Amino acid sequence: MTSKTLAVYRKEIIDALRDGRSLFAIFVFPFILYPAMMGFMSWIQNKNTEDARALSLRIGMVGEAQIPGLADSLRAVRGVEAISLPAAPVRLEGANVDAVLEVPDGIAARVAAGDSAKVQLVYKESENRSSQAAERLEPVLDQVRRALTVDWARSLGANAQAPPAFTVEKRDVSSKDEMGRFFAALLIPYLLVFLVAAGSMHMAVDATTGEKERSTLETILATAATRGELVLGKTMAVLTASLTGALTGITGLFLTFNVIAPLIPGAERQSMQFVVGPDKAVLLLLTMIPAAIFISATLVAIGCFARGMREGQAYASYFYMATIFLGLGSFGQQSPPPSRFFIPVLNTALLQREILTDTVNSLHALTAVGTSCALAAIMLVVAVRLFSNESVLFRT
Amino acid sequence: MIQVSELSKTFHDRKKGDIPAVRGVSFTARPGQVFGLLGRNGAGKTTTLRMLATILVPTSGTATVAGFDIVQKPAEVRRRIGYLSGDTKLYDRLTGKELLQYFGALAGMTKGAIAARMTELTEPFGLADLLDVRIGRMSTGMKQRVSIARVVFHDPEVLIFDEPTAGLDVIGARNVLRLIQDLKGKGRTVIFSTHIMTEAERICDEIGIIEEGRLLTDGSLESVRSRSATRSLEDVFVDVVGATAAAEERR
């Protein structure tokens, strides 16, 4: 690395540090965005729950008399008005009800005979009131199941008096720490990719296409610095911005989950110990660097190619969206095939997931890092070539 | 010294095909002299100067600048030139000092040399009150002082000025012309393009008139004037360029 490259690097960093938009995106945005998002989501969730509780719902009953106590149980549900219907309506709207509980005729005889029987709750998941009705009737459905089981037992001569109070339920025993690790493994690889691309996009275009648009390009092209030194210095500055963006972004996320969430009313449930040990943090950063160089060099190449800021921002946005989709590909891939580790950006996200879940496969690691390094080198060469091509630099 | 030999540049456009911008231009600019390249807008002045500054690569022909071939040794050429165009701007977010440090570093100067040169140029260029001000907050005149200091900061042997007075007021233009005369006095080779004949008459020792990429005439001011019946450079220019334009029109 030459002193000229360092001079370009230093200049671009000073330039970026004095650009309000860059500073805001890297240093302020993460610390406002995540807490604001969490606060907003909690507020929305709480509001939805309150609104749902306040709803008065109408439930239609068909054949309810066949199961003793069913009508009373339905009427006992808070906020529910249960009305008896002579037959199942063709459309819920036609009967002016939000859901209908249908008990088929002759159910007692069928149960006694050991035949299967079906009690149906008819509702529409697509409609808020109807889906709320289904949720509220869940305990009543349990009661129906138990009552039918008792009827069946009695038909076989058992001395069953009342439905036993058995329940089958799911109980999540994950600690906040375990939930934190799970979400860290799911979110951090994707977020790192997203934050690196977001942190470098503006600066890459500003440092390259911006030179054309602000008519400063010729001044540096006529200096003793080679095109390679200029591009390398700019890419290093973009890389610094992208990695800084990633670090502040992850710090913002950490503070949101670990510090701010417990303080927001209604968001306490979402707080978790979003902790990544220092050894893993270092590994994440190291594995991110080749991918970040690839992303930075590609954005610099895009900036060299574009005629103006608007065109540069448009191309960079397409690339940014592509990286986000590739990052999203890491979601849900528990055991990805080795070929996935050749796909840029996705390979890094998958490798980081392996790091966070202690399942690193050395072949995967080698493939991901090797591919990212090779692509980073290729994109640097492409960026230098574009910056050396006068028909690209001066095209109008 | 600048020696230009049969220099040509053709641009390619997908729709219009090949567009020759400079066609076989040859001339010599000597140390301690100012060579004026005169021509109308679009005549080929900027393309010629950009090739000399190694920003563009010639299609054919070549030139040597300070003894180095612009095609074979572009890095050596760039090390020895200062380039200023009327269109070029400065970095608004840097201070005057940071800008000069940046270009000093790009010229390969050491930190010590940069600091010494900064001190040396502060007084003659009136930089004292500009060094810590961001360029975006400077007036046009202040920016121009910094811009000129940038060009001479690494003390180049050859200076290339492409319409440097474009867009400047009378005082600004006068400052630029005074700088060019100072550089000439210090034995530097200066090439200067303009379409303002009075400027050329004031500071040029030799001129070349370029039209449609061809150098129509060149030589000392006196010799060029003597080839025409008129005495004013503007009349000479109109005579030379007008004859070509008329011939072109007849074709």
Chain A nearest CA to B171, separation (Å): 23
Cβ distance of A214 and B85 shorter than 8 Å: no
ipTM of the complex: 0.88
Q: What is the DSSP letter of B95?
A: B
Q: Give the dihedral of Cα atoms B132, B136, B137, B143; nearest 10 deg.
A: 80
What pLDDT digit, counting tens, does each position of A321-363 carry? 999 888 888 876 667 888 889 999 999 999 988 888 888 899 9
Q: Which residues in chain A are closer than 8 Å to B102, comparing Cβ atoms?
A: 7, 10-11
Distance, in Å, from the CA atom of A346 to the CA atom of A355, rounded to the nearest integer, reads 14
Note the pLDDT of residue A269. Answer: 59
Backbone φ and ψ of B12, nearest 5°: -115, 130
Q: Which of A209, A208, A194 is nearest to A325 (CA)?
A: A194
Q: Are B44 and B65 in contact (CB under 8 A)?
A: no
Residue B119, classified by CB atoms within 10 Å of its CB into exposed (0-12), middle (13-18) or buried (19+), is exposed
Cβ distance of B55 and A221 shorter than 8 Å: yes
Residue A57's beta-bridge partner residues?
Answer: A80
Percent of chain A with pLDDT over 90: 35
Note the pLDDT of residue B185. Answer: 92
Note the pLDDT of residue B140. Answer: 84
Distance, in Å, from the CA atom of A240 to the CA atom of A204, rounded to the nearest integer, reads 11
Distances (CA, A) of B164 to A137, A199, A338, B27, B195: 83, 38, 60, 21, 11
Kindly tell me if the per-residue pLDDT of A298 is higher than 90: yes
Task: List strand residue ranges (DSSP E) for B127-195, in order.
Answer: 158-162, 189-194
Chain A nearest CA to B181, separation (Å): 22
What pLDDT digit, counting tens, does each position of B75-111 carry? 999 999 999 988 788 999 999 999 999 999 999 999 9
Going A100 to A106 to A107 to A108, the CA torsion angle's sign is positive
Size of interface A-B (CB pairs under 8 A): 79
Q: Is B25 helix (H, G, I), strand (E, B) or coil?
A: strand
Cβ distance of A223 and B103 shorter than 8 Å: yes
Mean pLDDT to the nearest integer, A124-138: 89
Strand order in the sheet with B68-69: B17-29, B2-13, B60-65, B68-69
Strand order in the sheet with A57-62: A80-84, A57-62, A99-102, A120-122
Position B251 confidence tier, pLDDT thresholds 50, 70, 90:
low
Nearest CB to B106 within list A18, A215, A225: A225
Residues 6 or more apart whose CB falls under 8 angstroms from that of B68 comprise B76, B77, B80
